[in-house]
Structure formats: C-alpha cells, structure tokens
Amino acid sequence: MKCDQISETTVESVGEKKFPMGREAALAVYVEERCLSSPPSGLVTDMTVSRMRGIAIIATLACINFLNTMGSGILIAALPRIARDVHIPDGLILWPAAVYSLAAGCLLHVSGAIGDIVGPKSMWVVGSFLFLVFTVAVGLAVTSMQIILFRTCLGMAMSMCLPTTVSLITNTFPRGQWRNTAFAMNGMAQPLGYALGLVLGGIFTDTIGWRWSYHIMAMLNLCVSVTSIWSLPTVTHPSKKEWTRQLREDVDWVGAMILSVSLGMLMYVLGMVTSDHRDLGKASNIALLSISLVFLAGFPCWMHWQATHDRPALIPNRLWRQATFTSACLGVFFCWASLNGIEYFTTLFFQQVQELSALESSIRYFSQIIVGTSVNIMLVYLISRVRVVVLAVASACITLVSPALMATVGVDISYWAGPCWALFLCPVNPWVLFSISNLLISDALPAEEQSLAGGVFNQFAQFGNSVGLAITAVIAASVTEHSNELSEKTRLMDGFRAAFWAIFASTGAVIVITAVGFRKAGVIGQNGAVDEDMSTITPEPGSPC
C-alpha cells in the first residue's frame, strides 16, 4: 500500500478502534509515523551487498563472538592445570576469568560510542587483531600476573568488537530474513564457542597441553581478522564535523567515565567475593561497593542534566521509558547470569563431586553443540512468524527445567539421568533471547548510534555474568560452610544445590520480565512489521510504509 493509497477501511480501523482523536487526526498520525518517518533502526531498506558477501559478513561477525566465549570455555576447563603451571595463588584463581568480564564490561559503552564516530569496521578490525595478539600472549604466559594481564587486554580488545558487530549488521542488512539470520548466527556462536572451548580445553589439558588450545584459537582468529578486511562493509554517517571534533564534542566522556568507574569498582568487588565470600566484609571492599553504588545512582542524574542542556547523553534516560528496551536489557542480565552460573557449577559438579577429569567433564558438553545448532536454525524461521513474547517466555520455560534438574540430582547420578538433559536445555533461552534482544535494542536507537546499542546490550550481558557468578558463588560457599554433612562431597553438593535454586529463581525472573515487557512487542524481524499497539493497521504487500 503506497502512502497515497490508504483505504477507507484503514481510516476506520485507525480512527475508531485505536485513536479517540477522530478519523482525520488518526490518519495524519498514521501517515506521519508510518510513511514520512524512518524507523530508528531502518538503516537500510534494500540489500547493499551481494549474497556471497552477505554470507561472508555474517560468518565473520559470528566467528568473533565464537572466539569470545571459546577462550572463556578453554579457561574454565583448564583452570586447575593453568593455576598449577603458572602458579596462580588460591585467592586469585578466578581472576583470569573475572578480569576479562571486568575489562570488557567497563569499556563496551565507550567503544560503542567511539565506533559510531570513527566507523564500526575500523573499530572491529583493530579489536580483532588486538584479540589475536593477546590470545597468542595468553598461550605463551609463564606467570600468574602475565595470565591476568593478558586476559584483561583480551577483554579490552573484545569490547571493540562486540558493540560494532550490532552496527555492522543493522547498517548492512534490511529488516527481514538476512538481519534475523545474522543475529541468530551471532547468538548461536557465543554458547557454541563456550561449549567447544570446554571440550578442547579438557581434551588438550589431558593430552598435548592447554597452551595448544590458545594456539589453535589464535590460528582461527588470524583467518577471521584477515578476512574481515575484505568482507566487512565500510559504514559511514555523514557529518559536517571532523571525526576528531566529533570525538571531543559528540561523546559524553563524563558520563562514560562515571559509568566505567562505577562498574569497574562494582565488578572488582564481585570478583573478590566470587573468590572468597568473606571478602565482602573487608573495609576496602565495602568502601568500593558504596562508591560504585553512589556513582551508579548519580548516572541517571547526569544523563538528565546533559539532556536538559542539549548536550550528548551516553545512554539517554528516555530509552528506559520504552518497555521493550528496558525488558530486553533486564532479561539479558538475568539470562546471562543464569547461563554462566549453571555452566560453572555443573563443571564443578563433574570435577569436584563426581571427580571426573577435565577431559571427561568437557565431553559432556557436546549436547549443547547439538541443541544450539538446532535451536538457531529453527529461530531463523520462527522469529519473523511468532510473537516476541511467545518466543521469549516459551524458551525461558524450557530453560527453567535445567537448574531444577541439577538442584535435585544425587551425588552419584548417571550423566544420562539428569546432567545431560540439564546441559541440553540450559542454553535454549540465551540463544533465543540474544537474537530477540539485539533486534529490539537496535530498534530503539537511531542509525548513527548502533554501536552504542550493541554496547548497551553486551554490557548488560557481561554485568549479568559477573553478578550471577558472584552471587551464586557466595550462596554455594556459605551453604557448604554451614552444612552439617560429614562427607565433603555431600557438603559441596549442598552448596551447589543452593546455587542451582538461585539460578532457577533468576530464570524465573526472565519469564516474568519478558512476559510483562514484551507483551506489546508483536512480531519482529520482518519487513513492514508493526507494534502490537498498531496491530489494526496492516500494510498491504509491497508497501514501503
């Protein structure tokens, strides 16, 4: 339906069913919103690249997400051996994992804002090559401080790639099948990378050595980085200002500093608590926690001040008034907290309770690779046909079974009787919610701020990882410490069960948040999609509106 072909039925539908203002006013609103205005994320309306290059772009972007979590999976599987080889003190044994999230989480929004100015491709390629350099460095590290330092640098490098991935997708592919596929493949890459990292880390740790895991990862990274120079498109947003002037004037550096410092201090405290829950009572940690909470509380005030004085705001407060945007961020937070927690404590269950080797533990994660591939193939088809709220709630209900199973298993239970199905089901919701949330969050920001949209999304995911792991670690350690069981395995299992029930509650929160927040989101990921609030207005086939 062309903009000059609006039918009488449409006017009646709009004027009488949805708008009390009258038919003429309703029609004017409809024309303005649907025909004259470009949607925030309607970055392109047609494919701007060839089919083969489109496939190459999707594969390249998915690979960096794959490598992102692959390194973390390798680390979790090989951490006991790495700790012995490079002499990591017991109090710092979780720091190689914690500092990665700390560095990435603090810089995602800054990298996103810079990427929107200098260009997402440039930012992505530089970050990819830096990730390659520090992956090689981790494989060659010989001391605990080197491992921690290089993992920190890896997090900084990845913070340049994750936000700009969203911008490259939304500025290259129009709404519809291509964009859906791109986000679905990126969603699949993250948990698959983690699962394969666990498998490779376990296999190599017990055979040729854990360092080879990172060497192979670096080889893959080299191929991806070199390919990206050709495959990724150059995205530019015309501006009368030089990019150096834009960096000075169009980035909210004070807001970025407030958010980075507050999140850095908070995630540092969470990392300390994850290592030993008694550290929360230390005066230094209490002081850092208090300062970080004050800064976080002051961040919205600073955003309001910037907006009222017509200055750039890093994350404008108006975004949080959009129910779907806020719900997507909160859903991702709780979802990633649950995923990280269940995979971490399931690994501990295999190694500390059932006393399996790293290799035996890692092989048990093959089921995730199978379900991940299947779910994302289905998601590419379903996302443009099924309402967002149905996909989000149904997938969360499926994942809810996973922590409940692990919370009720016995110490000597067979893998096939419980843990297999828990691992099979636990990533379903993260895979689905990843694609949904990326589409919703990118729709909330205009074309020139898509890297920032990616930064916001990934920041909530990283923060969820840290908070989820810290809280469940504190719960597990506290319950284990106060358990009256005589057997060490049984005491450990008591703590793990408490952690799994906390994860169950977190997954339940995802169901509530998405059920309420996505109830008006309708169907996304298709051309001509409309919000549920405008469901009575149905563009005819071929409509540009």
Task: Kindly report, residue by residue over 257-282, the tens digit of the pLDDT.
Answer: 888 888 878 877 877 776 666 777 78
Task: Tell me: do 100 and 167 sit in the same domain.
Answer: yes
Q: Which residue has the higher pLDDT, 469 or 236?
A: 469
Q: How far is CA 473 from CA 193, 283, 480, in A?
A: 23, 20, 10
Of 385, 530, 523, the residue nearest 35 (C-alpha): 530
Of 46, 64, 60, 117, the residue nearest 451 (C-alpha): 117
The C-alpha R_g of the chain, in whole angstroms, comes to 24
Task: Report whether 523 contacts 388 (CB < 8 A).
Answer: yes
Task: Report whether 243 contacts 114 (CB < 8 A).
Answer: no
Task: Tell me: do 133 and 175 sit in the same domain.
Answer: yes
**Does residue 43 sit within a domain?**
no
Of 207, 224, 201, 197, the residue nearest 62 (C-alpha): 224
Task: Report whether 179 contacts 48 (CB < 8 A).
Answer: no
Task: Tell me: do 283 and 385 sit in the same domain.
Answer: no
**Does residue 349 sit within a domain?**
yes
Token pair in block for residue 188: 């699949």
Q: So what's the pLDDT on residue 224?
A: 92
The Cα–Cα gap between 336 and 478 comes to: 23
Q: So what's the pLDDT on residue 45?
A: 53
For the ranges 14-28, 322-336, 438-452, 466-480, the lowest mean pLDDT is seen at 14-28
**Does residue 516 sit within a domain?**
yes
| pLDDT class of 237 with cuts at 50, 70, 90 | low
Q: So what's the pLDDT on residue 157?
A: 92
For the ranges 229-233, 247-251, 384-388, 451-455, the lowest mean pLDDT is seen at 451-455
Residue 164: CB atoms within 10 A of its CB come to: 34
Task: Tell me: do 101 and 201 sit in the same domain.
Answer: yes
Q: What is the pTM of this model?
A: 0.75
Report whether pLDDT(17) > 50.
no
**Does residue 207 sit within a domain?**
yes
Domain boundary residue, one of 261, 288, 313: 313
| pLDDT class of 500 with cuts at 50, 70, 90 | very high
Task: Tell me: do 108 and 188 sit in the same domain.
Answer: yes
| Highest-confidence segment of 17-26, 359-368, 503-512 | 503-512
Task: Tell me: do 236 and 292 sit in the same domain.
Answer: no
| pLDDT class of 398 with cuts at 50, 70, 90 | very high
Report whether pLDDT(161) > 80.
yes
Residue 256: CB atoms within 10 A of its CB come to: 20
Task: Tell me: do 319 and 467 sit in the same domain.
Answer: yes
What one-character-per-residue DSSP string does 5-43 give?
---HHHHHIIIIII-TT-HHHHHHHHHIIIIISPPTT--
Q: So what's the pLDDT on residue 37?
A: 37
The CA-CA-CA angle for residues 213, 219, 223, to 5°, reads 145
Token pair in block for residue 512: 């509530």
Q: So what's the pLDDT on residue 239?
A: 66
Helix orientation angle between 144-172 and 120-140, rounded to the nearest 10 degrees: 160
Range of the domain at 268: 252-313
Task: Report whether 432 contacts 379 (CB < 8 A).
Answer: yes
Q: So what's the pLDDT on residue 370?
A: 79
Amino acid at 247: L
Tell the residue number behind the tokens 């980085």, with chain if given: 225
> Where in 53-150 does DSSP place strands (E)?
none
Domain boundary residue, one of 286, 313, 340: 313
pLDDT average, residue stretch 388-392: 89
Domain boundary residue, one of 296, 313, 330: 313
Q: Which residue has the higher pLDDT, 48 or 533?
A: 48
Mean pLDDT of all residues in the chain? 78
**Does residue 214 sit within a domain?**
yes
What one-character-per-residue DSSP string does 357-408 give?
-HHHHHHTTHHHHHHHHHHHHHHHHHTTTS-HHHHHHHHHHHHHHHHHHHHH
Share of the chain above pLDDT 70, in %: 83
**Number of structural domains the chain divides into:** 3
Task: Report whether 260 contacts 280 (CB < 8 A).
Answer: no
pLDDT average, residue stretch 394-407: 92
Report whether pLDDT(28) > 80.
no
First to last CA, the chain: 7
Containing H/E element for 285? helix 283-308
Contacts of 419 (CB under 8 A, 6+ apart): 346, 349, 350, 364, 405, 406, 409, 413
**Does residue 46 sit within a domain?**
no
Residue 361: CB atoms within 10 A of its CB come to: 22
Helix and strand tally (H, E) in the chain? 19, 0
Share of the chain above pLDDT 90, in %: 14
Containing H/E element for 480? helix 450-482
Task: Tell me: do 258 and 210 sit in the same domain.
Answer: no
For the ranges 30-44, 198-212, 258-272, the lowest mean pLDDT is seen at 30-44
**Does residue 544 sit within a domain?**
no
Q: Which residue has the higher pLDDT, 320 or 493?
A: 493
Task: Report whether 72 contacts 196 (CB < 8 A).
Answer: no
Task: Report whether 2 contacts 544 (CB < 8 A).
Answer: yes
What one-character-per-residue DSSP string does 145-198 give?
HHHHHHHHHHHHHHHHHHHHHHHHHHHHS-TTHHHHHHHHHHHHHHHHHHHHHH
Task: Tell me: do 205 and 337 sit in the same domain.
Answer: yes
**Does residue 60 sit within a domain?**
yes
Residue 445 belongs to domain with CATH number:
1.20.1250.20
Query: Quick check: helix, strand or coil at residue 218?
Result: helix
Note the pLDDT tens digit of each residue in 332-367.
899 888 888 888 888 888 888 888 877 787 788 777
Task: Tell me: do 342 and 269 sit in the same domain.
Answer: no
Report whether pLDDT(544) > 50.
no
Task: Tell me: do 164 and 26 sit in the same domain.
Answer: no
Report whether pLDDT(40) > 50.
no
The Cα–Cα gap between 348 and 354 comes to: 9
Of 332, 369, 73, 122, the residue nearest 236 (C-alpha): 122
| pLDDT class of 445 with cuts at 50, 70, 90 | low
Burial of 492 (0-12, 13-18, 19+ CB in 10 A): buried
> Where in 321-397 does DSSP place strands (E)?
none
The Cα–Cα gap between 528 and 541 comes to: 9
The Cα–Cα gap between 179 and 176 comes to: 6
Task: Tell me: do 17 and 120 sit in the same domain.
Answer: no
Report whether pLDDT(223) > 90.
yes
| pLDDT class of 451 with cuts at 50, 70, 90 | low
